[in-house]
């Protein structure tokens, strides 16, 4: 049954450390109850609590305990790294509640870092092209979105930008627009203090972050409508 998020258990991160050390199905099965009580169960509650809060805030993002979480098991079929388990647990809340949509909220609790993001991540070619065209043809709207993000203490992530302008955009002169056009995705991130994951206050922190990132969601959704209609 769903429950209000009260925080991850005190052994959530230690469990991930131990799992990463053992990396065996036998150890995981022996400690499955600890995984469920300290990490997986609370994560399910977090997703459903956020879904309720996002609905109340009219953010257009939702999820549930069955569809939103990524498996802790790694897909090793095409990887040289054959370790069977991830070092983190993560989930996506999206407009339709699946992992296949664009314009999403992502939350990640792991050994290296804990963070959240709002993203248009690797959008389909037609949507990415529409976003790039919108940056050039409606620069004021793009700059207003960037300015709103900055007021919330956020900025677009530069990770994964192309080194050169994509075809058809070579003549864009304004540096801020030229950089944005080289983006393959549009993302803002929020670092989570690992010490805060054991409290229900994490929900307020993540809702505040997502409200601050709403201009990015709105900007992309407006463009997405034109890309689908084209």
pLDDT at 225: 82
Give mean pLDDT, residues 11-38. Answer: 97
Give mean pLDDT, residues 85-113. Answer: 96
How many CA atoms does the CB half-sphere of 49 hold within 13 Å?
19
Could you give the C-alpha distances from 67 to 1, 64, 117, 210, 211, in angstroms and in order?
15, 6, 18, 20, 23
pLDDT at 171: 93
pLDDT at 3: 74
β-strand partners of 108: 90, 115
Alpha-carbon span 228 to 49, nearest angstrom: 31
Asked if the model's pLDDT at residue 124 lies above 80, the reply is yes
pLDDT at 80: 84
Give mean pLDDT, residues 200-227. Answer: 95
Asked if the model's pLDDT at residue 228 lies above 70, the reply is no
The phi-psi region of residue 10 (left if phi > 0; otherwise alpha if psi is between -120 and 50; otherwise beta) is alpha
pLDDT tens digit sequence for 63-97: 999 999 999 999 888 888 889 999 999 999 999 99
Q: Please give the mean pLDDT across all residues of the chain.
A: 95
Give mean pLDDT, residues 98-106. Answer: 96
pLDDT confidence bin for 230, thresholds 50/70/90? very low
- 8 A C-beta contact, residue 149 and residue 213: yes
Percent with pLDDT over 70 in the chain: 98
How many CA atoms does the CB half-sphere of 3 hold within 13 Å?
11
DSSP, res 23 = -
pLDDT at 174: 94
Task: For the chain, list the domains and their CATH numbers.
Answer: 12-229 (3.30.930)
How many CA atoms does the CB half-sphere of 57 hold within 13 Å?
20
Asked if the model's pLDDT at residue 1 lies above 80, the reply is no
Give mean pLDDT, residues 206-214. Answer: 98
The phi-psi region of residue 222 (left if phi > 0; otherwise alpha if psi is between -120 and 50; otherwise beta) is alpha
Give mean pLDDT, residues 186-199. Answer: 97
pLDDT confidence bin for 2, thresholds 50/70/90? low
DSSP, res 70 = P
Indicate the length of the chain as a whole number. 230
Residue that is written with structure tokens 């991850």 in the block: 8
């Amino acid at each position: 049954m769903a429950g209000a998020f009260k925080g991850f258990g005190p052994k959530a991160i230690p469990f991930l450390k131990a799992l990463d050390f053992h990396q065996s199905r036998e150890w995981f099965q022996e400690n499955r109850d600890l995984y469920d009580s300290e990490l997986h169960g609370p994560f399910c509650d977090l997703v459903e609590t956020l879904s309720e809060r996002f609905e109340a805030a009219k953010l257009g993002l939702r999820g549930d305990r069955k569809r939103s979480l990524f498996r802790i098991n790694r897909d090793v079929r095409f990887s040289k790294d054959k370790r069977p388990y991830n070092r983190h647990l993560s989930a996506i809340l999206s407009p339709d509640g699946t992992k296949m949509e664009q314009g999403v909220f992502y939350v990640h609790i792991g050994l290296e870092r804990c963070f959240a993001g709002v993203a248009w991540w690797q959008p389909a070619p037609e949507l990415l092209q529409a976003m790039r065209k919108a940056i050039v043809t409606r620069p004021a709207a793009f700059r207003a979105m960037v300015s709103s993000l900055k007021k919330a203490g956020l900025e677009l992530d530069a990770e994964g930008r192309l080194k050169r302008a994509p075809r058809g955009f070579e003549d864009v002169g304004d540096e801020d627009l030229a950089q944005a056009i080289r983006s393959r995705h549009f993302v803002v991130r929020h670092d989570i203090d690992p010490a805060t994951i054991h409290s229900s206050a994490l929900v307020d922190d993540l809702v505040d972050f997502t409200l601050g990132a709403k201009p990015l969601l709105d900007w992309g959704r407006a463009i997405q409508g034109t890309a689908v209609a084209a």
